[in-house]
Each structure stands twice: as C-alpha cells, then as structure tokens.
C-alpha cells in the first residue's frame, strides 16, 4: 500500500485524492496494516438506476412505493432533489411536476441487479456481503497489491460502476460496520488502519450511529455528543442504561470485537428481470431492456469464464400471460444473434397487439463455476475439447466468415500451376512431364507481383541469380485462356529463394509467384 | 550432458538429465536438430515458440517433415500464414494436403487479432489436430499461457512463429528456439545450383540439458 498520506475527497461522485489536503485537515493516513479492509459501496439512487440505467442523468426521476396506503418517494435523483423532492415525502404532499418521472419501485429487479453487482465485484475480491437492497461490503485487503493500492482500486470500481449506470458512494474502513456508518456520515472517506479509525470515530457524532431515535435521545440525555464520549463512559453503566447490544455494536465499530458478516454465495444459475415503467410494444424499448439483461449476464459469465448452451427469454404481458423463448448459443454467438430471435418474435407479438410489461432472462446450465474450483490452472479450467472437425470448421466459419477458412487441396485453387501440363526445359535436355518433380515453393503470393527489369534481367531486392533450369507450363490448345510461362528458381542478393516466371511471347514480363519460405 | 557417477561404497548418483524419457516426439529428419532438441525430436504436445528474424527465415522447412508425418494421421491447421500455402510443395514433402486447414483473415486490424487468437485456440483444442501453426507477433504471457493450456487440452503441438525481438521476453512455451539466417557464401551463387540458406538455431528454453544447444542446418 502507498505510504503517502491520501484522503478521498468527500464530494459526492467526484473521486479525487489529495495529499496536501490530508495534511491540512489531519485526516486519516494510509499506513500498512495487517488487518482487514472493508469497502462499503452504497447506491443512493439504486431503485431508480435499476429501472432507467444511464438515463438517470437526463431527467428528474423518483422511485415511489406504497407505505400504509400512501404513495411515498423512496429515492429521488439529483435533478428531482433540485426540485425539492426528497426521500420519504408522500407524493400527495407535493405538486407533481410533469417533468418528474415517477417510477414504481421494484424490489425483485433490485435484488437481481444487486446479484449482478456481486458478480461484477467478484473480480476484486471473493469476500463480500450484501447490505440491504442497495449496498455491498467488500473485503479488499488481499487485492490491494494487485490493483495498485486502495486509491487506484476505488477509482477503478467507481469508474466501472459509472459505466454500468450506477452512482455509488463509498467508505473504506478496517471494520465493516464502521465502513457502513462512515459511508452515510462521511461519504467517500478512506481509513486504512485501526489507529486512524479510532481517531475518526472518536470525533464522530452519535447521530451517525445506526440506532433508534430513542437510543439517540438517551445518549443525548447522558451528555454524550460523539462516540469518543460514549467510549469513556463505564461499560457496565452503559449496558444498564442502553443495552448489551449497543456496547457490542460499539466494540465492533472500533474493531475490538469480531463481526459476523453473511457472506455472499454466488448464484448457481442466472436470472434477471427488466420491468418496464409502462407497458411497451416498441422494439427499441425491448432491445434496450435485452441489452441491459445481457450486460448483467456478461458480468455473471465473466467470473465463470464460461458460456451457457441455452438462454431463455421470458416475456410477460399485461394479461399476466408469459411466453418463453429458448435460444441455443455457443462461444461464437454474439449479442446481436441472441437479440435477433427475440426481435423477430416480438414483431409477431406486436401483430397480435399484445403489450409487454417485463422481460426476463434465465440461464440454467452454466457448466463451470470458479467458486467451487479455486485453482485456476487445474485441469478443470482448460476448457473443453472440440470433437470432430465439422464442429471446428462450423464454429470458425460462424465467427470468421466463410472465406476465412479453406482446405489445402491440390487443384482446389484453380491456379495455373496446379492445372496446366508441365515440362522441364534445361539448356541440355527436355524431360517428360510424368517423371519430373521439380521443387515447389511453400508459399505463393496472393497475386503475381510484376518485377522491375533492367537490361532484360528481372530484379527483386537487388539483382536476381536465376537457376538455369526452367519449367514450362502450357495450357491445352483447346482452352480459351491461353497460358504459356517459363518458371525459374531465383535467389536474391541476401540468399532468399523465390519462384518467378516469365510470360512467353511478352517482352520483359517477369513476375514473382512464390517464396521458398 | 552430465555422466552418472558411481561411488566406491556402491552408492550411485544419477543426474536427472540423463534419465531416459518416455516422451514421444516427431523426428525432424535433421540429425543435428534432433540431437539438440529435448527428447530427440519435436514435442507432440505443448507450445513451441520459434523466434525468427524475418517472416521468411526458412523456419517452416525445419518443421515440414514432421508436419507431413502428422498430416497423414491428424489435422494440421495453419492460422494467419504470411502467404498462401502451395499445396504441391506440401504434397512433395509427403503431406496429405486434404488434412491441412488454413485460417486466414483478409486484413489485420485490432478486431481480427482477437479473432485470429480465438481461432488458434480453437485449433489447439480440436481433438484431432496434430499440429497448429500460428504466425503471431505481440502476444502477452497470459495469451501464450492460455494457448499452452489449450494445446494440452487438445493434445496438440502448437507452433508459434514470432519475431526474434521477443527472445528476451518470458514465455510459458515449453520449447523456444531462436533461428538466425547466416549470410550466404559466394559459392552458393552458381546458376546451376542455387543453394538454400544456412540457419543457425539456438534452444533458449527446453529441458535443462538442451538449453543453449546450437545447431547449424542448410535447408
């Protein structure tokens, strides 16, 4: 870890590290530590982001949910907040601006989205835990060296999350509960060791604690303003006045007591749903949803380094009618080839006048799961054999195109050298074709290259030395494309052997045809 | 090569290098080369990296007899060759040209590089592929490692031709050979007999006794 003092700017969504600022404000320093280091990623706009993705920045949006029969704002994006809309507000209590888009909160979608984020986060660490519906706790101590320190690790995380359409807040601390608490009280703060954690927590107000209002009031009544005051009180008295749980929580915060964290277990299969804010029929909206689902699937598959053999699209309509579309795929399948059957199916559905309320994607058979096989280089990770040349060739053709693959069969190229009758002509003898097997170059140039000629002598990378023996090819007299050539083996000045020919009856027409490796 | 030692009290010391191996190999048909190669021939599985000064360094001639032998039993796949292979030359060398498959993409760009590497990996994983040849250039250690694993999976001999400038880079290939073309002597330049070039080869990675072995060939 970098021994320089660094501190993360607490400006929301603006990650920057400033050593000078750190010195001035006496903020925690990064000093090597052998303890755990927890990153808490909190997604304040998660309920909106999972529904609209990157569109969140364009329009004021708020997610709403029904609490005791009252439609209440769950989260509002910065644009909506600027209009005075805040979390916890009832929709009836404010004038609904037409520009504000109200989205019905969908916890199922949030659940699947958080699962996908866990899949994404597994690239940084295998130790993680979900916190509620919109938070992730990652233990990153072992990953710091690999990612170049906590600064670059956090930058990478935030950048990637932004590209996925999320705006996270984070806090880094040696204990999980401190990371969670500090993320809400001092967003984007990084505390790397317990000494600094104790200093920071000592001056943190008790209002930051995740306890009930009554407990906070009790603390205020005791004259306790911050956690440092709390720790100075006699523990037995504190237990009696508040509770044992409260004292345990304080110990966990400061790292004096271990915490029990529910570890994330990777899913055995992939399932995700995209719910439309209103019922749709347009291909564009569905394609957008499909792309989002495939992005989540990609995160899931990335960790497993594998591909499924079959995908199932689930299309749910306004009439609660569900259609399932199963698509076979392999490693040559592209995103377009997976979405294409869905689009053509939707066109038929559109003709039937049926709207779509949600789109789901399910993958049941992912063959490999790294969570159970941690040795990357064991034989289990060497992929599958490709059995039969038909499957090799069909796979190659699907991805690279028909023209990219060909078999090296004699005569298949229809080159003049393959098909014409040949005979050797030396200065002394004329050999019959049947017993003559002249040396051939291993390579042919794709198109014969015309050679420059000086004093009737061809040149290629300097003056050529040409073997006296020549080979003549002649097409049969009844063929329309008459070919008459003399072939020679020549050597360049640097000793490279080439195969050249001269068109008979045409002055100075020498061509490079092949290369002897 | 070290010799085994027998001590007076009956204790013998056997150097690991002298132990005979049961590894099957393909004979290169060049005696000097076979002597220099680990286990006395080209390996049947794994990646062999041939580092050449230019694309045309007669490197393929070294492999041709072995490739011809392979093509009579299993497939030989050429991925991204520098020119079009000439079937007659392969047939002259004794190869079954109907078992030679060529993968070639028209123009090389960044997306094609990924596709070519993918195609080569597929060829290595193909269970009936005896040898897969690849003309690559800049490849990361991770990519080479993946190719090595693919070759082991498919029991395939992978041959990668790369520029000599990568000789000092680390590589997971099990065998690495550096080839240098010697300048032609004047006696080669007689119009009656245009002699082939001379090659000097050095084994820079292989089993311990073969490292540093050199051979001189006229092809």
pLDDT tens for each residue of A146-176: 888 888 899 889 988 888 888 899 999 999 9
**Which of A381, A440, A468 is facing B191, going by the closest CB pair?**
A468
Looking at the structure, do residues A282 and A215 belong to the same domain, yes or no? no
pLDDT at B133: 94
Give yes or no for a contact between A497 and A442, defined as CB atoms under 8 angstroms apart: no
**CA proximity to A459, closest of A432, A426, A490, A418:** A490
Q: B59 lies in a domain?
A: yes
Q: Given A312, A341, A372, which residue is the final one in a domain? A: A372
- Give the pLDDT mean for A24-43: 61
For helices A389-400 and B110-125, the axis angle rounded to 10 degrees is 170
Helices (H), A18-84: 19-25, 46-52, 78-82
Q: B51 lies in a domain?
A: yes
Dist. CA A476–CA A484, nearest whole Å: 10
Question: Is pLDDT of A144 > 50?
Answer: yes
Q: Do A467 and B191 touch (CB under 8 A)?
A: yes
**Which of A395, A408, A516 is facing B122, going by the closest CB pair?**
A395
Q: A212 lies in a domain?
A: yes
Burial letters B160-179, b for 16+ CB under 10 A, else e: bbbeeebbeeebbbbbbbbb
Dist. CA B201–CA A29, nearest whole Å: 56
Dist. CA A325–CA A405, nearest whole Å: 33
Dist. CA A249–CA A177, nearest whole Å: 8
Looking at the structure, do residues A36 and A144 belong to the same domain, yes or no? yes
Question: Is pLDDT of B27 > 80?
Answer: yes
What is the token pair recorded at A244? 């044992």
Give yes or no for a contact between A383 and B153, defined as CB atoms under 8 angstroms apart: yes
What is the token pair recorded at B159? 């041959």
Looking at the structure, do residues A348 and A439 belong to the same domain, yes or no? no
Give yes or no for a contact between B42 and B24, defined as CB atoms under 8 angstroms apart: no
Looking at the structure, do residues A167 and A206 belong to the same domain, yes or no? yes
Dist. CA A342–CA B97, nearest whole Å: 43
Domain assignment of residue A455, given as a range? 416-515
What is the token pair recorded at A415? 């080159």
Looking at the structure, do residues A240 and A280 belong to the same domain, yes or no? no
Per-residue confidence at B158, pLDDT binned at 50, 70, 90? very high
Give yes or no for a contact between A410 and A424, defined as CB atoms under 8 angstroms apart: no
**CA proximity to B102, closest of B125, B122, B128, B76:** B76
Per-residue confidence at B77, pLDDT binned at 50, 70, 90? very high
pLDDT at B9: 52
Q: Do B196 and A445 touch (CB under 8 A)?
A: no
Give yes or no for a contact between A409 and B97, defined as CB atoms under 8 angstroms apart: yes
Chain A hits for B194, Cβ within 8 Å: 465, 467, 489-491, 497
Q: What percent of chain A has pLDDT over 70?
A: 77
Q: For chains A and B, what is the number of CB pairs under 8 angstroms?
A: 156
**Which of A383, A399, A403 is facing B150, going by the closest CB pair?**
A383
Q: Do B115 and A392 touch (CB under 8 A)?
A: no
Question: Is pLDDT of A91 > 60?
Answer: yes
Q: Do A443 and B123 touch (CB under 8 A)?
A: no
Beta bridge partners of A402: none
pLDDT at A42: 93
Looking at the structure, do residues A24 and A148 belong to the same domain, yes or no? yes
For helices A335-351 and A283-304, the axis angle rounded to 10 degrees is 150
Residues whose CB is less than 8 angstroms from the CB of residue B89 and which lie 6 or more positions away in sequence, other chains included: A439, A440, A441, A442
Cite the beta strand spans of B86-194 per DSSP E: 100-103, 129-135, 157-163, 175-182, 189-190, 193-194
Distance from CA of A514 to the nearest CA of B (A): 8
Q: B16 lies in a domain?
A: no
Q: A23 lies in a domain?
A: yes
Q: Tens of pLDDT along A122-131? A: 888 888 898 8
Chain A hits for B98, Cβ within 8 Å: 407-409
- Per the structure, the count of domains in chain B is 1
Dist. CA A360–CA A315, nearest whole Å: 6
pLDDT at A379: 40
ipTM topping 0.90: no
Looking at the structure, do residues A27 and A162 belong to the same domain, yes or no? yes
pLDDT at A138: 93
CATH assignment of the domain containing B214: 3.40.50.300
Helices (H), A203-279: 213-221, 227-232, 235-241, 244-254
Residues 438-497 of A with CB under 8 A from B: 439-446, 465-468, 489-491, 494-497
Q: B71 lies in a domain?
A: yes
Looking at the structure, do residues A235 and A349 belong to the same domain, yes or no? no
Residue A382 vs residue A213, higher pLDDT: A213
Question: Is pLDDT of B160 > 90?
Answer: yes
Q: Tens of pLDDT along A455-480? A: 888 888 888 888 877 888 777 777 67
Q: Which helix (H) or strand (E) holds A188?
A: none
Q: A410 lies in a domain?
A: no
Residue A513 vs residue A352, higher pLDDT: A513
Q: A496 lies in a domain?
A: yes
Dist. CA B46–CA B69, nearest whole Å: 18
Handedness of CA B109, B110, B111, B116 (dihedral sign): positive
**CA proximity to A84, closest of A103, A66, A97, A101:** A97
- Per the structure, the count of domains in chain A is 3
Q: A204 lies in a domain?
A: yes
Q: A94 lies in a domain?
A: no
Q: Indicate the range of A30-39, A287-296, A339-348, B51-60 predicted with least confidence.
A: A30-39
Chain B hits for A408, Cβ within 8 Å: 78, 85, 87, 90, 97-98, 100-102
Domain assignment of residue B48, given as a range? 25-218
Dist. CA A204–CA A185, nearest whole Å: 8
Distance from CA of B48 to the nearest CA of A (A): 18
Looking at the structure, do residues A205 and A145 belong to the same domain, yes or no? yes
Q: B1 lies in a domain?
A: no
pLDDT at A421: 42
Looking at every residue in chain A, the average pLDDT score rounds to 76
Q: A28 lies in a domain?
A: yes
Question: Is pLDDT of B117 > 60?
Answer: yes
Assign B83 to helix, strand or coil: coil
Looking at the structure, do residues A344 and A234 belong to the same domain, yes or no? no
What is the token pair recorded at A5? 């003092």
Looking at the structure, do residues A284 and A247 belong to the same domain, yes or no? no
CATH assignment of the domain containing A289: 3.30.1490.100
Q: B7 lies in a domain?
A: no
């Amino acid at each position: 870890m970098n021994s320089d003092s660094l501190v993360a700017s607490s400006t929301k969504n603006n990650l920057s590290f400033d050593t000078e600022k750190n010195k001035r404000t006496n903020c925690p320093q990064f000093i090597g530590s052998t303890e755990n280091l927890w990153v808490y990623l909190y997604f304040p706009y998660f309920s909106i982001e999972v529904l609209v993705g990157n569109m969140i920045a364009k329009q004021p949006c708020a997610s709403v949910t029904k609490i005791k029969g009252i439609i209440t704002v769950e989260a509002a994006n910065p644009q909506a907040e600027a209009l005075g809309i805040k979390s916890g507000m009832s929709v009836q209590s404010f004038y609904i601006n037409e520009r504000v888009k109200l989205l019905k909160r969908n916890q199922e979608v949030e659940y699947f989205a958080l699962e996908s984020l866990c899949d994404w986060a597994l690239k940084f660490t295998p130790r993680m835990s979900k916190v509620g519906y919109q938070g992730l706790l990652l233990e990153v101590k072992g990953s710091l060296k690999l990612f170049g320190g906590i600064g670059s690790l956090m930058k990478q995380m935030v950048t990637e999350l932004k590209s996925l359409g999320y705006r996270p807040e984070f806090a880094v601390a040696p204990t999980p509960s401190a990371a969670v608490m500090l993320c809400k009280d001092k967003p984007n703060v990084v505390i790397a060791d317990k000494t600094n954690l104790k200093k920071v927590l000592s001056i943190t107000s008790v209002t930051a604690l995740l306890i009930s209002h009554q407990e906070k009031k009790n603390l205020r009544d005791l004259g306790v303003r911050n956690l440092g005051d709390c720790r100075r009180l006699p523990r037995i008295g504190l237990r009696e006045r508040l509770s044992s749980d409260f004292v345990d929580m304080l110990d966990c915060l400061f790292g004096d007591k271990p915490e029990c964290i529910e570890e994330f277990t990777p899913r055995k299969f992939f399932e995700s749903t995209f719910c439309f804010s209103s019922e749709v029929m347009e291909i564009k909206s569905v394609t957008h949803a499909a792309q989002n689902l495939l992005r989540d699937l990609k995160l899931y598959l990335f960790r497993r380094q594998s591909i499924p053999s079959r995908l199932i699209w689930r299309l749910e309509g306004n009439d609660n009618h569900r259609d399932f579309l199963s698509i076979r795929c392999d490693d040559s399948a592209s995103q377009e080839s997976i979405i294409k059957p869905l689009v053509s199916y939707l066109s038929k559905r559109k003709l039937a006048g049926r709207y779509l309320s949600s789109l789901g994607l399910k993958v049941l058979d992912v063959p490999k799961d790294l969570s159970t096989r941690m040795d990357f280089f064991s034989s289990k990770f060497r992929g599958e054999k490709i059995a039969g040349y038909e499957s090799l060739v069909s796979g190659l053709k699907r991805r690279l195109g028909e023209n990219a693959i060909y078999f090296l069969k004699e005569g298949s190229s229809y080159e003049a050298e393959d098909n014409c009758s040949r005979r050797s002509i030396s200065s002394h003898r004329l050999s019959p074709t049947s017993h003559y097997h002249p040396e051939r170059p291993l390579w042919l140039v794709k198109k014969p290259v015309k050679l420059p000629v000086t004093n009737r002598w061809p040149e290629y990378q300097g003056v050529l030395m040409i073997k006296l023996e020549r080979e003549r090819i002649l097409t049969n007299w009844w063929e329309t494309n008459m070919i008459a050539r003399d072939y020679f083996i020549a050597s360049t000045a640097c000793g490279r052997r080439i195969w050249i020919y001269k068109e008979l009856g045409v002055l100075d027409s020498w061509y490079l045809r092949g290369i002897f490796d | 090569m070290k010799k085994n030692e027998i001590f007076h009290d009956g204790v013998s010391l056997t150097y690991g290098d002298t132990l005979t191996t049961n590894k099957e190999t393909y004979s290169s048909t060049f005696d000097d080369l076979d002597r220099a190669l680990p286990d006395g021939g080209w390996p049947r599985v794994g990646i062999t990296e041939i580092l050449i000064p230019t694309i045309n360094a007669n490197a393929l001639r070294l492999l041709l007899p072995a490739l011809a032998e392979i093509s009579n039993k299993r497939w030989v796949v050429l991925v991204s060759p520098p020119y079009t292979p000439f079937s007659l030359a392969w047939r002259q060398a004794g190869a079954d040209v109907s078992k030679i498959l060529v993968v070639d993409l028209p123009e090389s760009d960044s997306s094609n590089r990924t596709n070519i590497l993918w195609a080569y990996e597929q060829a290595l994983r193909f269970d009936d592929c005896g040898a897969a040849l690849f003309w690559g250039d800049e490849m990361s250690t991770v990519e080479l490692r993946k190719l090595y694993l693919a070759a082991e999976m498919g029991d395939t001999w992978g041959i990668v031709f790369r520029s000599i400038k990568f000789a000092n880079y680390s590589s997971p290939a099990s065998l690495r050979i550096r080839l240098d073309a010697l300048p032609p002597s004047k006696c080669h330049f007689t119009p009656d007999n245009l002699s082939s070039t001379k090659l000097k080869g050095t084994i820079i990675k292989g089993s311990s006794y073969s490292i540093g072995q050199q051979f001189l060939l006229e092809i």
